[in-house]
Amino acid sequence: MNADRDFLKGNEALAYGALRTGLNAYYGYPITPSSEIPETLAAEFGRGTYPEFRAFVQAASELEAINMTIGTAATGAKAMTATSGPGFSLKQEGISYAAAMELPLLIVDVNRSGPGLGNLGPEQSDYFQATKGGGHGGYRNIVLAPDSVPEMALFPSLGFELAFRYRMPVILLADAFLGQLKEDLTFPEVPAREFDTSWAVTGARGDHRHVLSSLHLELPDQSRHVEHLRSKYEEIVGAEQRSEEIATADAEVVIVAYGICARLARAAVRSLRDRSVRVGLLRPITLAPFPQDRLNALIDGGVRNLLVVELNSGQMVEDVRLVAEGRARVESLERVGGLLPSSGEVEAAAEDLTSSGDLRSALEAMVQ
């Protein structure tokens, strides 16, 4: 018996992870495949198990939800909202305002298939929306991509830490598979963190008051503000790139994949290594900032072939190509509509990029 291990869905683990890191408020509008998050939180709110969890509201719309999240965040409290693609689109308005007002909040997107209603299957097609800003105006958010249920439980804590450190929205980009997947996990002990909230609205003190506004009517003021947001993100690019590597040291081909695709890629790398095929995996943990330094280092170290595996019609591959700048061949294996490639397909695509794969293709071409 191993009583200290839990067995939870990704969505449930995320909810408990947030509660264990001192979540104060959750506002959301239910949407499959993320609804276990509000369901789990509603139950715990009703039980009152987590005294710091002071507010749970099923909002009337995603707009209401994100703006309630903004209100709570403005007081310096830890606020979270969760949704899936169609709801993520609606939340973009508020995310733009939160980015402009430099509010720390956590937004979870359990990516389903799109555009439009799409279906309930897993996709990674909200990558652009999450990593390039998403709402109007120029800004970037930090985007975290878990690839397992234990990480779904762990990343709310990391997310709030980054959100408060840099005073900005942090997006936790999961996918429908991870949301529904159940795995064993052990909750890490997360010490309660106190963050600097001296900027928050809590009532004026004498002549000192706090105004959180995204309105800068004087043109130079707005210019300075956007420049400030940009330089803040540049600092984040320098300090917060996170990734995981498997068997990249002598790799001829490196697979770049995150989320559920990284799990498939792990299996493919293991299987290929069993056959002495020199393939490795670079798994971005922060999609924004993209782990460009590690990717650069791999290319500088001699990796000439990159295979991007993602559940969209080619989004992260653009960032990989941007880093590679023509120094490495970048191919991609894509699936959409909720379908996943098999690990065999990942294996084959990676092997095709090795020198033996090249030789075989050349021979096949000659035969034909």
Q: Which is nearer to another protein, 236 or 265 (CB)?
A: 265
Helix (H, G, I), strand (E, B) or coil at 265: helix
* Preceding peptide of 169 cis, ω within 30°: no
* Nearest distance, CB of residue 309 and another protein, angstroms: 12
Asked if residue 91 lies in contact with residue 169, where contact means CB atoms within 8 angstroms, the answer is: no
> Rounded distance, CA 130 to CA 109, Å?
9
For residue 272, which of 361, 343, 364, 355 has the smallest C-alpha distance? 343
**Nearest approach, Cβ of residue 268 and another protein (Å):** 8
User: What sign results for the dihedral spanned by CA atoms 226, 228, 234, 239?
Assistant: negative
The minimum distance between CB 103 and another protein, in angstroms, equals 9
Q: Could you give the count of Cα atoms lying within 13 Å of 196 in the half-sphere of its Cβ?
A: 6
CA dist 242 to 17, 182, 238, 293, Å? Answer: 20, 25, 11, 10
With CB under 8 A as the contact rule, the residue among 198, 213, 276, 368 that binds another protein is: 213
Give, in order, the Cα–Cα distances in Å from 131 to each of 29, 214, 287.
22, 21, 7
**Please, which of residues 138-197 interact with another protein by CB under 8 A?**
177, 180-184
Confirm or reject binding of residue 203 to another protein (CB under 8 A): yes
Q: Does 64 bind another protein (CB under 8 A)?
A: yes
Kindly tell me which of 134 and 289 has the beta carbon lying closer to another protein.
134
Smallest separation (angstroms) from another protein to the CB of 1: 5
The Cα–Cα gap between 124 and 112 comes to: 7
In the complex, what is the shortest distance from the CB of residue 64 to another protein, in angstroms, rounded to a whole number? 5
Q: Please tell me whether the peptide bond between 33 and the residue prior to it is cis, using omega within 30 degrees of 0.
A: yes
Is 316 or 346 the residue whose CB approaches another protein more closely? 346
Check residue 253 for interaction with another protein (CB under 8 A): no
Binding of another protein by 13 (CB under 8 A): no
The binder of another protein chosen from 31, 68, 162, 251 (CB under 8 A)? 68
245 contributes a contact to another protein by CB under 8 A: no
Task: Name the token pair of 81.
Answer: 């909202």
Nearer of residues 67 and 315 to another protein, judged by Cβ: 67
Tell me the residue type at 103: L
Q: Pick one of 190, 212, 226, 336: the residue that binds another protein (CB under 8 A).
A: 212
Measured from the Cβ of residue 298, the count of other Cβ atoms closer than 10 Å reads: 23
Interacting residues with another protein (CB under 8 A): 1-2, 5, 7, 24-25, 27, 32-33, 54-55, 57, 59-61, 63-65, 67-75, 77, 79, 93-94, 97, 101, 119-120, 177, 180-184, 201-206, 209-215, 217, 263-264, 266-267, 270, 340, 342-344
